[in-house]
Structure 1
Amino acid sequence: MHDPMTSECGEAGEKRGAMYVRMSTDHQKYSTENQADTIREYASRHGIRIVRIYEDAGKSGLSLEGRDALKRMIEDVQAGSPGFDVILVLDVTRWGRFQDADESAFHEYICRRAGIDVIYVAEQFENDGSPVSTIVKGVKRAMAGEYSRELSSKVFAGQCRLIELGYRQGGPAGFGLRRVLLDEQRNIKGLLKRGEHKSLQTDRVILMAGPDEEVEIVRWIYQSFTEEGLRESEIAARLNLRSICTDLGRPWTRGVVHGILTNEKYIGNNVFNRRSFKLKKRRVANGPEMWVRADGVFQAVVEPRYFYTAQGIIRERNRKFSDADMLDRLKALHERQGWLSGILIDDTDGMPSSAAYAYRFGGLVGAYRLIGYDPGRDLSFIDDNKHIRLMHPDVIAEVLMRIRGLGGAVRVEEGTDFLIVNDEIKASLVISRCGRNASGRNQWKIRFDAGLMPDITIVARLCANNRDILDYYLIPALDVEAPALRFADRNPLALEAYRFDELEPFFRLAERAELPVAA
């Protein structure tokens, strides 16, 4: 966000205005700068002095989520005495393309109720509350939402067409595969490295087999699973013993191996629309009848017979169970072992997966309760971890907005989620939950990734409720001597030197200032 207050002085009786500008992630006719110029011209003609600017750059107007500037503006209005009399917006679409037109009207009503008028400077109607303006606004809001729905349908249809033609639609290639860039005549232009994207609209991306050593490992995974009967966890353990890393440079896990065994791209198939997240609505998993696919369009890495044998093994292992059958098996496992855990469930033959129990009964704890099992320990950390996973992208988005608002350049590195600031600083954000040690005192644990050590690790410590952020530590890589750190309520001075109540010191690292030009 720009500097909220200007240094200009207004004449007596001059209205004070707040400017709201927004630009979506898609290609817009108006940039935030053009919107601001138009609004300033209108303000100058109507005797309004701009005293505050709220900017949402690169934010969709489909919902209020992620639009921190709009939310902050509404909060300022509701708090009373915001320091301005009117809000200036370019047009109805910049206020939002809400799928429910009433939501757009609601946010405007909050401002009007507080005595703050909303003016759409480029619209042909006066927003004066008259019947005509109310009707026109309603139509405009409905049209704005309908535009987004139509655009979504057109984009989806275009993606489906490209899938059927054999082109890749986003996402990393995966271990044993590489993304290859083609021109419009399908001539190979070169390999795309992780984090690289095509620069021309007419270029396309396909998948091809990667290095021979990676291809051989993928084939070994399939043969070990189908012929030797090894489980995914056993395959991961053997790969880690051989010091082989994944395509992300990380150790192998059961989930990574399972992903390779179940992805059709390894037999050359292009599958799309397994999951949907249209118009910022709830993310859903689609049934196979809704998948869009093109078979045999990529270079196959494994023989189809291995792939389909693996799918048969997995389906048999995860065949459908009734609720009663699942609970009977869980109870029998408890009686045999005397305890239960997600890892034990996944490692026991003949049992549905722990994910299946969590999905069917609203979490593993819910299944435990139904069979009368008490884990004997506090499992609130499960909800805490879920909250932290949801919280992480919001904190990242706030950091991105602040850095860009200060004139810095920042991007999220694909595959690592590191923040690359001004192409100079590589930072990692870690949210650390608050726990208790044996004496009942608060403690926080943080683990560093020694293989992918960033220049700075931002540690956000949570309060005791594990919902709110307590403070921040900015840990430079040069001072990381151990793979893990423990924090307490009071820490050694050498560690407290990196503690801050806010992230302003980090933002100052990204700030850019113009250098004076010598005469």
Structure 2
Amino acid sequence: MVSYQNNISSIDNNADADIPVAQYVRMSTEHQRYSTENQQLAIAEYAKRHGMRIVRTYADAGKSGLRIDGRQELQQLLEDVQKSDIEYRAILVYDVSRWGRFPDPDEAAMYEQTCKRNGIQVIYCAEQFSNDGSLQSTIIKNIKRSMAAEYSRELSVKVFAGQTTLIKKGYRQGGSPGYGLRRQLIDENHNIKGMLKRGEHKSIQTDRILLVPGPPEEIETVNFIYRLFLNDGMPERDIANLLNNQKIISETGRPWTRAVVHQILTNEKYIGNNVFNRVSFKLKMRLEKNDPSKWVRKDGAFEAIVPIETFRQVQAVIEKRSKHLDDSHMLEILKAILARHGALSAIIIDEEDDAPSSMTYRNRFGTLLRAYSLIGFHPRRDYAYLEINRTLRKRYPDLISEITSNIEKRGGWVTSNPDNGLFTVNGELTISLVIARCKLGQNGRNRWIIRLDSSLKPDMTIVVRMAICNSTIFDYYILPLTDFSPETLPFKEFNTFTLDVYRVDTLELFYQLTSREALQEVA
């Protein structure tokens, strides 16, 4: 165990001093020895032995150590240490790996340096080195950080190997089942335990999930889509419009889109094949689309709901439509689109059934603007945002309806003001909803366009940040009126600690805050 004198000599030379300290604990889903309770017991023993008094606890339970986003308590810690009235003088951490298993060891060092720069020392209680800034401790600590990062890489390899084995045995690994399919839960002896509903997950490690056919009416709709495409030559967008006109409900309850129909026409799970690793997000660093040669597959893993020959015929049509084009042919197609529309944008290109997607042009030519310049089109600005904004405006009432429904399910109620767009929850809290369009910045990172009406002054603003495709939600910010201004808004993917404390992946916490329970009246 580390010697007290070496570790906190910069704090106090008196070993009997009642030194106020904080503790940081983190547990992901690893071995029980890293439970937050076990960490706190070891830290408490260390603190008692060295004359310290724990006055604040930061605990990230169930959080990966690979990245700081999502670890709200560590973010809060880093924000607190930069305040002048901080109540503690050091931070106790069980070991280097609890601080983080960052793939880049320098990131862990940066966060520790933030503490040190503000006079708060980080002490690793279970490490066999003194964190005193000496050359020896610095070298050992950096080795430990590298070992923590390497552990993450090795674990990633082992997890992927385990997932690959399960895929080849025919078990489903994550993701929604898809329209026309359902997830069936079985135990280790293949006894059926029931169906998982949307949003539910298995809770026992030895349980497995299979894909099985869904309701007959959904299976018929899937095959109807294949017939429209193959026999009637109807493109995906027209099929989506037809399904919407016939009031057929999609898997998510949202309107059908060209992309959703295309996914049904191309995903092999509809002929029973289990395909994994199309995309990867290893070490939570970067989402990558993998080459088909890297896919992991098990053919015939599930019961098919589309005839295999029908599926192959559809793939042949799609492959012929999207056959590999050289640069000159792609540019000729782009010229034709420009001649038809008089302008170009990502959305205009993506709506062309017989043209490569805007992403294909980006991948081939680097950027859309470069592709534009090669055919002599030089827009003063990209007007695609107008179409995106129009789509997002149409989505606004659906989001309001969704939020209202979830509040009412929890006993609350909502009233809206058509004059200013604000809605009031439980007759006391005024809320403004803002949908933020996402765009790619010049540095290649996501940026959000957020505009607020400062004159409204709602008690709380819910900012819905869209993903780069602007069709799905990336995250939410729940911002109280008193803690932010139009100059300090979440424009970037990673913002200040002060701002990101209001970031959430879902609105569940907001719904809990607005819930109401009926009470019996006391006579």
| Cα distance in structure 1, aligned partners of 2:405 and 2:283 | 26
Q: Identify the residue that residue 449 of structure 2 maps to in structure 1.
A: 466
Of 256, 264, 269 in structure 2, the residue corresponding to residue 265 of structure 1 is 269
Alpha-carbon spacing, 1:223–1:384, altered in 2? closer, same or farther (3 Å): closer
One-letter amino acid matched to 2:179: F
Is 1:253 aligned to residue 253 of structure 2? Answer: no
Give, in angstroms, the shift of residue 382 of structure 1. 8.3
| Cα distance in structure 1, aligned partners of 2:38 and 2:413 | 32
| Cα distance in structure 1, aligned partners of 2:291 and 2:421 | 40
Give, in angstroms, the shift of residue 372 of structure 1. 3.8
Of 118, 121, 128 in structure 1, the residue corresponding to residue 125 of structure 2 is 121
- When the two structures are aligned, how many residues end up with a matched partner? 431
Alpha-carbon spacing, 1:343–1:132, altered in 2? closer, same or farther (3 Å): closer
Is 1:39 aligned to residue 43 of structure 2? Answer: yes
Structure 1 runs, 4 residues or longer, greater than 6 Å off: 382-385, 416-421, 425-428, 443-447, 455-458, 461-465, 468-471
Q: Secondary structure at the match of 2:312?
A: helix
| Cα distance in structure 1, aligned partners of 2:27 and 2:94 | 11
Q: In the TM superposition, what are the counterparts of 1:246-395 in structure 2 within 5 Å? A: 246-348=250-352, 350-361=354-365, 364-373=368-377, 379=383, 381=385
One-letter amino acid matched to 2:433: V
Q: Taking structure 1 as the reference length, what is the TM-score of the superposition? A: 0.72
Alpha-carbon spacing, 1:382–1:53, altered in 2? closer, same or farther (3 Å): farther
Alpha-carbon spacing, 1:239–1:457, altered in 2? closer, same or farther (3 Å): farther
Alpha-carbon spacing, 1:147–1:347, altered in 2? closer, same or farther (3 Å): closer
Q: Is the 8 A contact 2:410 2:515 kept in 1?
A: no
Is 1:193 aligned to residue 202 of structure 2? Answer: no
Q: Is the 8 A contact 2:271 2:306 kept in 1?
A: yes
Q: Identify the residue that residue 10 of structure 2 maps to in structure 1.
A: none
| Cα distance in structure 2, aligned partners of 1:135 and 1:367 | 49
Alpha-carbon spacing, 1:366–1:104, altered in 2? closer, same or farther (3 Å): same
Of 195, 201, 207 in structure 2, the residue corresponding to residue 203 of structure 1 is 207
Alignment RMSD: 4.1
Q: Identify the residue that residue 142 of structure 1 maps to in structure 2.
A: 146
Q: Identify the residue that residue 493 of structure 1 maps to in structure 2.
A: none
* The 10-residue stretch of structure 1 (200-209 or 253-262) with the greater mean CA deviation from structure 2: 200-209
Of 242, 246, 251 in structure 2, the residue corresponding to residue 242 of structure 1 is 246
Of 53, 57, 60 in structure 2, the residue corresponding to residue 49 of structure 1 is 53
| Cα distance in structure 1, aligned partners of 2:63 and 2:130 | 27
Give, in angstroms, the shift of residue 339 of structure 1. 3.3
One-letter amino acid matched to 2:449: N
Q: Identify the residue that residue 74 of structure 2 maps to in structure 1.
A: 70
Q: Is the 8 A contact 1:22 1:58 kept in 2?
A: yes
One-letter amino acid matched to 2:313: T
Is 1:173 aligned to residue 177 of structure 2? Answer: yes
Q: Which runs of 5+ in 2 are unaligned?
A: 1-14, 393-401, 424-428, 438-446, 463-478, 484-501, 504-508, 517-523
Give the % identical residues.
51
| Cα distance in structure 2, aligned partners of 1:188 and 1:363 | 50
* The 10-residue stretch of structure 1 (242-251 or 457-466) with the greater mean CA deviation from structure 2: 457-466
| Cα distance in structure 2, aligned partners of 1:311 and 1:274 | 17
| Cα distance in structure 2, aligned partners of 1:446 and 1:313 | 49
| Cα distance in structure 2, aligned partners of 1:88 and 1:501 | 33
Give, in angstroms, the shift of residue 458 of structure 1. 6.7
Alpha-carbon spacing, 1:57–1:173, altered in 2? closer, same or farther (3 Å): same
One-letter amino acid matched to 1:459: L
Alpha-carbon spacing, 1:420–1:144, altered in 2? closer, same or farther (3 Å): farther
One-letter amino acid matched to 1:220: F
Alpha-carbon spacing, 1:175–1:60, altered in 2? closer, same or farther (3 Å): same
Q: Is the 8 A contact 2:225 2:239 kept in 1?
A: yes
Give, in angstroms, the shift of residue 342 of structure 1. 4.3
**Partner deviation per Cα, 1:226-276 (whole Å, 9 max, x = no partner):** 121110011111111111011112221111100000100000000001111
**Partner deviation per Cα, 1:5-45 (whole Å, 9 max, x = no partner):** xxxxxx99532212212222455533334423432332233
Q: Secondary structure at the match of 2:132?
A: coil
